[in-house]
Amino acid sequence: MQSPQFAVAPVDRSLEAQLRAKIDSKTKPLGALGRLEDLALQIGLVRGTLSPRLSNPQIVVFAGDHGAAKAGVSAYPQDVTWQMVENFLSGGAAINVFARANGIGLTVVDAGVAHDFGKRANLYDAKIAPGTANYLEGPAMTAEQRDAAMARGAQIVRDLVAEGCDAIGFGEMGIGNTAAASLITHCLTGASLTACVGRGTGLDDVGLARKRDLLARALDRFDGARNCPLTVLAQFSGFEIAMMAGAMLAAAQAKLVVLVDGFICSAAALVVARLAPAFLDYAVFCHASAEPGHQVQMEALEAKPLVDLGMRLGEGTGAAVAWPLLRAACAFVNEMASFESAGVSEKSA
């Protein structure tokens, strides 16, 4: 029986036939707008309306450090995590640029960075601890820390909903988090570790081999249930991934359109989908990451990303880049003429 904490109601499909009829009546051949038609239908069902509009999008970027990072699973030093948070706060990162370009609000969250930022106007302090433990030696976090991270992520979303947010995207920052995402993906899909592990921030062949070896050692150490999403989350994730999982659950519970970024965000989505399968009704997978494990995730979730631009940056950049497609989907449903209103003859039988 599903815990009420993780309960997500499937979308109400009572409007589906009317939405399809409205989409099909537009001045175009049936299906001519391809994925935009599917997207318009999904948004309409999530929002429960024949005239879907998304006017207050937000992207939340969760940052956290990983104890295993110092063991060599990344090409970059751990200090890059807090340095990139400073970059977010000063407005100079790719996600800042794309969010500004597309009119998307941006929230930066310290979920567990190994750095003291002090009180900052533009930083949401939700720190669980200054980084996780090293999962090569034991669980990355305790069950209590995992639950606290998920609860704080959920509260952040509830606060944004109270401010009028109607669509929410997620991003992350954390040196070593592609390794964590690889372990989560391997455990919850059953795919080989090799298929789930990529170069992350740019490992060379030697670094990639070392990363695979370290992650295999972490799996050898773990003798728990690999198909239990909450167990796997505590064993291998970062606080930013656990907090994002709680945020995604809350977003679906609030009936928001949820924009899922690339590999790390999809690892959180994989956890959430295992806890609450109806989450997938609300999720828009925005882009196909160049990380090999992302394809494994998409196959396991039976999901098809909106765009494939060869991106692998994270930060929520894929969600920001995909946002105009959601706006276009809403616009054609609401503004495009129908055959009847435009006086255009329909296809003859």
The model's pLDDT over 115-145, given as tens digits with 9 standing for 90+, comes to: 999 999 889 999 999 999 999 999 999 999 9
Arithmetic mean of pLDDT over the chain = 94
Q: Specify the pTM.
A: 0.95
Residues recognised as catalytic:
315
| pLDDT exceeds cutoff 60 at 58 | yes
Q: Is the pLDDT of residue 344 over 80?
A: no
What's the mean pLDDT in 254-263?
Answer: 97
Q: What is the dihedral of CA 113, 265, 312, 304, to 10 degrees?
A: 180
CA dist., res. 218 & res. 4, Å (int) = 32
Fold of 57-332: Rossmann fold (3.40.50)
What confidence category does residue 349 fall into, taking pLDDT thresholds of 50, 70 and 90? Answer: low
Which positions ≥6 away from 232 have C-beta within 8 Å? 183, 184, 187, 188, 226, 271
Q: Domain coordinates of the chain in residue numbers?
A: 57-332
- pLDDT at position 348 is 62
What strands, in cross-sheet order, belong to the sheet with 257-260?
A: 123-125, 105-112, 57-64, 167-173, 257-260, 283-285
Question: How far apart, in whole angstroms, are the C-alpha atoms of residue 145 and residue 53?
Answer: 37
SS3 64: strand
Q: What angle do CA 312, 317, 323 make, to 5 degrees?
A: 130
pLDDT tens readout for residues 169-209: 999 999 999 999 999 999 999 999 999 998 877 788 888 88
